[in-house]
Structure 1
Amino acid sequence: MDETQPSPVLTDLTELEEQVVNTARCGKVAKPATTMTVEELAITDDPELRVRAEVLRDLLRGLHGDLDPRGIRIVDVRVVGQLDLDHVTAVTGLDLYRCALPESIVCRHARLRYLYLNHSLLTHLHASGLRADSDLFLRDATITSTNKDEAIRLLDAHIGGQVDLDRATITSTKGPALNADGLRTDSDLFLRDATIIGIGEFGAIRLLNAHIGAQLNLSRTTITNTNGPALNADTLRIDSHLFMGDATITSTNKGGAIRLLGARIGGQVGLNRAAITNTEGPALAADDLRADSKLFMEDATITGSGGLGAVRLVGAHIDGQASLLMSRLDNSSGPLLVLHEAQITGALLFPPAVVCPAGRQGMSRCGCPDSNRTITAHGLTYPILRETSWRQWLHLLVHHTTTYWPQPFQQLAATERTAGHDNNAREILITQQDDLRRRTPQALGNRLARGRHALWGWLGRYGYRAQRLVLALALVLTFAAGVGLLAGHVTTRPGHHAAEHVPPVTAKPDTPGTPCSPVELIGLGIDRGLPLGTTGIRAHCDLDTTTGWGQTFTATLWALQALLWGLATLAVAAYTGLVRKPT
């Protein structure tokens, strides 16, 4: 036969096929008198329940005359043979309700009005490059593929309405259950209450570079892949929300159970009450995710594995609050939460007990028994913390991070300062310096530099508690006054003391000295200890430096004067901010 000629139209139609043609012309539903389950239909040989795939192809091509705009609508039949719609431009839509298509459907680069396969059973839907003017529905459908790469293939397809797979059961034993890389929908993609089972490194569901024109909703769906990601959606774009509430996700993959690397979500990301498990890698890998609204993970149960972390939001941007109120977060071999360089423009809600079950606060010299449960937060920015106090978050930074980084402390201090809690901010920055010396002492220099840093911390709390220096000044000055008073009561020789009135020039050497009053002795100690200025008391009451005791007291007061010089300098520097705090 000449292949350039159109294929002949089937004319030897069965009674059921005649009914299908006639109902398509008048807009009615074709339905046989006998009904079976779709599982029974898939294996039946009853001619009264069987329609050849070629008849449906001819109808869609318009070879049986004008068809009603309502489309070809058929219930409870078995389609015999593969329904081959490759490159077909259909004149109307196709609605197969509760039908069996055991030899699959192929519609590569076809142009269909719509395609409904609700409650139907099929082995494979290959629709790469499909263009549908309206919706693609597979509600309550069962698709089981055992000899193809995917159960459903929608590579680079463009659906002008919704893609609805609610309550569908989609299984592939050789590859992805749904492979929709490059898919574009002008409306929603629904996979609610579905059961998805795929296998392999490509993922159970693949949506790489896909563009969903409204929301992607996988609420209450169960997705399983024992040898790869459950949802592989790197660089996915969603114009509205992503919902995965109450979903059950199980994966074995080093790259992540849910992969949203570089994804762009135009609304919320909702994972409330989701149960996500990955035995080899992250439960959620969302590096560089951008969400234009909030992120919710309330009451979620997250279990990941490995050094990449259980939940990864590296470089993510959440344009709203991030509610990480998970009920459980586990990773036995790596960090629980990785928030490196993440940006959150709203409140960060995070329960500290998820990381530190005892809910400890602040910095402890004894460490934390749960310090193996770690987070990574350097580069993380947020305007406010909720569901955790600043002390609890500080405890996480000190005891539940693997490496010292200054930025998390600075961010927490800035948050407290913005809220008007300057004292809290200073306490945070003091803890930062303590943690710096504890975990990275080499950053401070040699042993002498580390000693100076420790002394500076003890005396002035690194400049954040300058009043301690003022108190130290007062104490040293008081001690100097006490030294002066003591000097007036130490006898150096008969009739003389280490501190006494200055004798006149004409006084004889054996003339007894004149004791100074207690006030004069106290003034002498202060005068000798002051770094700057004098009281003038030494003109008539001073130390006798010709004696051993006089020289001892003089040397002591010189040492106190040097100490006062140092304390005064540090106090001025602390109050004026001249001392640079190491980071």
Structure 2
Amino acid sequence: MDETQPSPVLTDLTEFEQRVVNTARRGEVARPATAMTVEELAVTDDPEMRIRADLLRELLRGLHGDLDPRGIRIAGVRVVGRLDLDHVTAITGLDLYRCALPNGVVCRYARLRCLYLNHCLLTHLYADGLRTDSSLHMRDATITGTGELGAVRLSDAHIGAELGLSRATITNTTGPALHADGLRTDSSVHMRDATVTGTGELGAIRLLGAHIGGPLVLDRAAITNTTGPALHADRLRTDSSLHMRDATVTGTGEHGAIRLLGAHIGGQAVLLVSGLDNSSGPLLVLHEAQTTGALLFPAAVVCPAGQEGMSRHGCPDSDRTLTVHGLTYPILRETSWRQWLHLLVHHTLTYWPQPFQQLAATECAAGHDNNAREVLITQQHDLRRRTPEALGNRLARARHALWGWLGRYGYRAHRLATALAVILTLAATLSLLAGHVTTHPDHHAAERVLPPTAKPTDPGTPCSPVELIGLGIDRGLPLGTTGIRAHCDLDTTTGWGQTFTAILWALQALLWGLATLAIAAYTGLVRKPT
């Protein structure tokens, strides 16, 4: 040993501990002759099944000489005492397999080559500020801790490759199960088939401001928090996708069961959960979240009825809510646009215009312009239903309702053209009727214009049906004339003639208004993304 190197503190090594040192120098796995379960190891007093935590610390510091690059590899033992690696810069990696660490592990601000605790049992892992050159794996581990620090704490840690927690069971009865604010990984985070139970408003899994260099995989995970969010990941950033296929998520409270406020998903957001519950708040919070790939989210997760259409009578499951204002996505999958529209109308707490605009833009980009118009019409209906005060006074709200009925707020301009045709037909019908209403003997409310030389006692000449129809159109048209009134017109010297004239004036004013709205609708002048 180099004389300048510090001497090890432990010199009274047991036979097994000496074997651990020797195998670490050769890069072999040290294991006792007898096999026990991790639960049995946690309470065993057999010296052949135990190794002191202090020895592992000394080995990693290089106090027992050079070690093989393959690292310290130990299987099936109990680590006695807390494994304290705070601020340690390790010369090699540590791989503990099926080991019991009943006093937990601390490696705050340590620099490790790698750390593997697969199939291990431990009370906690506190690793704030940890740096690893390679992966941190705790697959199939059982971690049961208490306190607000979390059972597994990786705040501001930097994992040089993958964080593996697949099939792990992590439990904390008084705080988060995984507390990893500001975590950074250069590769993926895998928590497939994990069982995670936390407590409190911090969340069962807490990933605030974390940056995942690959996908975040929570497929088939069971995440539970009875007093706060299940997944609390505000401002999470992943360079790849988020996967939650067949996950079961139960949260509680106003912060939501799954909370991804301001998150950025660099690929698909696969939220194909099999169960999502929150007894006292939103199921999903996606305020200002962004996914660059498709959003896969079945509407039935929120609305078990799976309603396709819109209903004015609400939804029986309207207490199951989500928050999606500010959410952006390029495409929706696993749910139809009508189902998503149903969620926006009946399963959001307040009216926001952006979710409707986003859905309309997505449908428009897919070439479904008619769907996009239907979304925007529904947006205006929802605006009037939930925030009528935004439209102004009663008169303004009445105008908005009338505009919706006549022209669907400018998104169904053909309805205005139909209304124009109906009013013109009504004008023609009234004129035709006027030609058959007798005002006095041998005269009608509408008849041929008498020549200047005619006497007042001369009998009138009836107009033909074509002339009467033309007269109605002539008097109804806002602009332009047919010229029919030069030889067939209403007799305004009679009461009936004046009545028909007044009615046709009213129809002409209505036609003026409809024509103006039709032009505005076709040119898009009245379509406001309110």
TM-score by length of 2: 0.92
Aligned to 1:163: 115
Shift of 1:26: 9.5
2:436 matched residue in structure 1: 489
Indicate the residue corresponding to 1:154 in structure 2: 107
Task: Please give the alpha-carbon distance, in whole angstroms, between the structure 1 residues aligned to 2:326 and 2:464.
Answer: 64
Once the 2 structures are TM-superposed, how far is the Cα of residue 43 of structure 1 from its aligned partner?
A: 2.8
For 1:92, the aligned partner's letter is G
- CA deviations 1:4-26 (Å, max 9, x no partner) are xx989999x79959986996899
| 8 Å contact from structure 1 (residues 298, 325) kept in 2 | yes
Q: What is the DSSP-based 3-state SS (H/G/I as helix, E as strand, rest coil) of the residue aligned with 1:240?
A: coil
2:262 maps to 315
Residue 90 of structure 2 corresponds to 132
Deviations for 1:149-201, whole angstroms, at most 9, x for unmatched residues? xx2100001012x2100000012xxxxx1100000111111010010000011
The 3-state SS of whatever aligns with 2:75 is coil
Alpha-carbon distance in structure 2 between the residues aligned to 1:512 and 1:277:
94
The C-alpha deviation readout for 1:349-372, integer Å capped at 9, x for no partner, is 111100000110232111100000
Give the 5 Å matches for 1:450-461: 450-461=397-408
Q: What SS does structure 2 have at the residue aligned with 1:326?
A: coil
Deviation at 1:77, TM superposition (A): 5.6
Q: How many Å separate the matches in 2 of 1:370 and 1:315?
A: 27
Q: CA-to-partner distance for each residue in 1:203-222, whole Å, 9 max, x for gaps?
A: 01000000000000100000
**2:330 is the alignment partner of 1:383:** yes
Number of the residue aligned with 2:487 = 540
- Alignment equivalent of 1:92, drawn from 41, 65, 70: 65
Matched, 1:202 2:120: no
Bigger relative CO (Cα 8 Å, ≥ 6 apart): 2
Shift of 1:91: 4.5
Give the Cα–Cα distance (whole angstroms) in 2 for the partners of residues 17 and 211 of structure 1: 34
Paired residue type of 1:90: L
1:475 aligns with 2:422: yes
- Over the residues paired in the alignment, what is the CA RMSD in angstroms? 2.8
Q: Is contact 2:183–2:210 with CA below 8 Å preserved after alignment?
A: yes
Task: Write the letter of the residue equivalent to 1:206.
Answer: R
AA aligned to 1:135 is G
Q: Which amino acid in structure 2 is aligned with residue 152 of structure 1?
A: V
Q: Deviations over 1:268-310 (max 9, x none)?
A: 1100000000001110011111100111000000000000000
Structure-1 residue corresponding to 2:3: none
The answer to whether the 8 Å contact 1:23/1:30 transfers is no
Q: State which of 40, 43, 46 in structure 1 corresponds to 2:45.
A: 43
Query: 1:118, CA displacement in angstroms?
Result: 3.0
CA distance in 2, matches of 1:303, 1:10: 48
**Aligned counterpart, 2:75:** 118
1:277 is paired with a residue whose SS is strand
Which residues of structure 2 form unaligned runs of 5+?
Answer: 1-5
The one-letter amino acid paired with 1:169 is L
Q: Indicate how the Cα distance of structure 1 residues 354 and 126 shifts in structure 2: closer, same or farther if over 3 A, else same.
A: same
SS of match in other structure, 1:485: helix
The equivalent of 1:100 in structure 2 is: none
Q: How many residues align?
A: 520
- Give a deviation string over 1:7-60, Cα, whole Å, max 9, x none: 89999x79959986996899699999986867499535xxxx5xxxxxxxxxxx
Distance in 1, matches of 2:82 and 2:126, equals 12
Identity %: 67
1:276 maps to a residue whose letter is I
8 Å CA contact 1:90, 1:113 repeated in 2: no
1:360 aligns to what?
A: 307
Change in Cα spacing, 1:582 to 1:280, as seen in structure 2 (3 Å) is: same
Which amino acid is the alignment partner of residue 522 of structure 1? I
Q: Secondary structure at the match of 1:203?
A: coil
- Residue 428, structure 1, aligned to residue 375, structure 2: yes
Contact in 2 for aligned 1:223/1:230 (Cα 8 Å): yes
Displacement after TM superposition at 1:136 (Å)? 1.3
Q: Residue 131 of structure 1: SS of its match in structure 2?
A: coil
Distance 1:247 1:506, change over 3 A: same
Q: Cα gap change, 1:144/1:458 in structure 2, threshold over 3 Å: closer, same or farther?
A: same
Letter in 1 for 2:388: P
Distance 1:333 1:79, change over 3 A: closer
Q: What is the correspondence of 1:80-479 to structure 2 with a 5 Å cutoff? A: 83=55, 89-92=62-65, 114-122=71-79, 123-145=81-103, 151-160=104-113, 162-171=114-123, 177-479=124-426
The 3 A distance-change label for structure 1 pair 370 and 545 is: same
Quick one: distance in 2 between partners of 1:30 and 1:530? 97
Structure 1 residues 93 and 116, CA, compared in 2 at 3 Å: closer, same or farther?
Answer: farther
State the secondary structure of the residue aligned to 2:203: coil
Relative distance call for 1:459 and 1:181 in structure 2 (3 A) is same
Structure 1 stretches of 5 or more lacking a match? 1-5, 50-75, 96-111, 146-150, 172-176
User: TM-score under structure 1 normalisation?
Assistant: 0.84
What is the rounded CA distance, in whole Å, between the counterparts of 1:441 and 1:159 in structure 2?
A: 60
* Conserved 8 A contact 2:445-2:491: yes
> 1:525 aligned to 2:472?
yes
Match for 1:140: what amino acid?
R
Q: Any conservation in 1 of the 2:54–2:83 contact (CA below 8 Å)? A: no
DSSP-derived class of the 1:454 partner: helix
Give the 3 Å change call, closer, same or farther, for CA 302–231 of structure 1 in structure 2: same
Point out the more displaced range, 235-244 or 128-137. Answer: 128-137
Check whether the contact 2:182–2:209 (CA below 8 A) recurs between aligned residues.
yes
Distance 1:582 1:23 in 2: 73
* Letter paired with 1:153: V
Q: CA deviation at 1:581?
A: 2.1
Contact 1:93–1:113 under 8 Å retained in 2: no
Tell me the residue number matched to 1:568.
515
Residue by residue over 1:451-499, the C-alpha shift from the partner in whole angstroms, topping out at 9 and shown as x without a partner, is: 0010000000000010000000000000000010000011111111101
| Residues 27 and 72 in structure 2, CA contact (< 8 A), matched pair in contact too | no
Cα distance change on mapping 1:513 and 1:472 into 2, 3 Å: same
Distance in 2, matches of 1:463 and 1:190, equals: 58
Amino acid at match of 1:232: H
Q: Which has the larger radius of gyration?
A: 1
Change (3 A) 1:117 1:548: same
Cα distance, 1:126–1:372 mapped onto 2, change above 3 Å: same
**Residues 48-67 of structure 1 aligned to structure 2 (within 5 Å):** none
